[in-house]
Amino acid sequence: MSSSGLQRRRVNTASTSESSDSNGHAALPSTPSAAAHAGSAFAHGSRIAYDPRDLEREDEGVRAGGKAPKLTLMEEVLLLGLKDQQGYLSFWNDNISYALRGCILIELALRRRIIVHKDVNRRRLPVSERLIEVIDTRQTGETILDETLKMMKAQESERMSINSWIDLLSGETWNVLKIGYQLKQVRERLAKGLVDKGVLRTEKRNFLLFDMATHPVADVRVKDSIVQRAVSLLTATTSTIPTNALLSEGTQMRVLRAACLVCSAYAASVLDNAFYRLGYEEREAAFARCDDILSEFCAWPFGSTPAGSSTRKAKGSRIGMGSTSDGREAVLGLVQEVRKELVGGDEDASCELVAGVLEVMSKLDSLL
């Protein structure tokens, strides 16, 4: 008698132990075999595609001492220099371009990507003349930082000093073979990055003979928080660090970042934009305190600057206000808190690099 309807199709089974029915048809296996999923994304279990770099980023906060801030140091300095409504920097500021290149090295050091090369003879050189070494080539997610890191890694066969790298990134070199290391349009690229983060917006403004893209502030709260942190740190009357002068708890190197922010803004000649609500005497006192902070952090180890070595500008400010104290005692609390963040104490080569960059910034007026 002929059978009607659909019949099972004979298939080759992977296992010889499977039984057959009376008609010779293969019986369905009781459990799905791995061969049924051969070549699929679900072979050997339920697996999904992933980027291995995502797993690397999970423990980055632990290795770097905390999570990375939402804004980089360069972006914060740029925001301090931008005019809120007009959306552009002062045309007469010659310092900010050079200072931003230094901020790039500081940010890479704080993220534990680069360090000072640990040569036993490096102590004989000034901090700014010590060589840079790349220890981590993982991407940071910030275009300018990743571009700089890639160039530095390509130059590992011939390591260069902190001062030399800042010069190269700024285009301050007579060597035509190394002119390609210059980072171009840093301010515009940083501004566009802030547009992507929702902090700025883009507008087109006419300047007599030409049109230029400007970037007014879109989120005033972000800039106000930066101003508040800088003002709180520089107007504190005691050595205790105000809480509102620091980033949120859990941010990597947040005390050192506070010191680097005011020092970098001071070197970039944009710090006075944060003092628009202060009186004359308060402004002068804040500038003098910032100069003291820079003096303490441009030496390595931090706080090893000889007493009484503040610059003439800071001393003149204190004399004008009727005070002749050194001012070093006011920043000792800041130095002590930063020392707690160091990994390995005075052997922290990343923070040693930060000191070298700040030494270059302390001489920025004479360099330019």
Q: Please, how many CA atoms are within 13 Å of residue 276, restricted to the half-sphere of its CB? A: 9
What residue type is 351 in one-letter code?
C
pLDDT in the model for residue 324: 40
The string over 22-40, giving b where at least 16 C-beta atoms fall within 10 Å of a residue's C-beta and e elsewhere, is eeeeeeeeeeeeeeeeeee
Q: What is the pTM of this model?
A: 0.80
d(CA 150, CA 185): 18
The mean per-residue pLDDT over the stretch 211-224 comes to 92
pLDDT in tens, 288-342: 999 999 999 999 999 988 765 555 444 444 434 444 445 677 798 999 999 999 9
Whether domain 65-367 has CATH 1.10.3630.10: the reply is yes
- 203 or 321, which is more confident: 203
Residue 153 has a pLDDT of: 96
pLDDT band of residue 50 (cuts 50, 70, 90) is low
208-216 contacts: CB < 8 A, separation 24 or more? 212/88, 213/188, 214/86, 214/87, 214/88, 215/82, 215/87, 215/88, 215/191, 216/83, 216/84, 216/85, 216/86, 216/87
Between 310 and 136, name the one with better pLDDT: 136
| Distance of alpha carbon 334 from alpha carbon 233, whole angstroms | 9
Contact between 105 and 114 (Cβ < 8 Å) = yes
- The whole-angstrom distance between residue 129's C-alpha and the CA centroid of its chain comes to 22
Half-sphere exposure (CA, 13 Å, Cβ side) for 329?
5
The three-state secondary structure class of 207 is strand
pLDDT of residue 325: 45
Using CA atoms, how far apart are residues 102 and 299, in angstroms rounded to an integer?
Answer: 16
User: In this prediction, what percent of the chain has a pLDDT beyond 90?
Assistant: 61
Predicted confidence at residue 33, as pLDDT, reads: 46
Sketch the domain layout of the chain as residue ranges: 65-367
pLDDT value of residue 366: 55
The neighbouring-strand residues paired with 204 are 213
For residue 81, pLDDT beyond 50: yes
And the tokens for 68?
């990375």
Residue 310 is predicted with a pLDDT of 56
pLDDT digit string, tens, across residues 98-128 = 999 999 999 999 999 999 999 989 999 999 9
Q: How is residue 350 written in tokens?
A: 């990343």
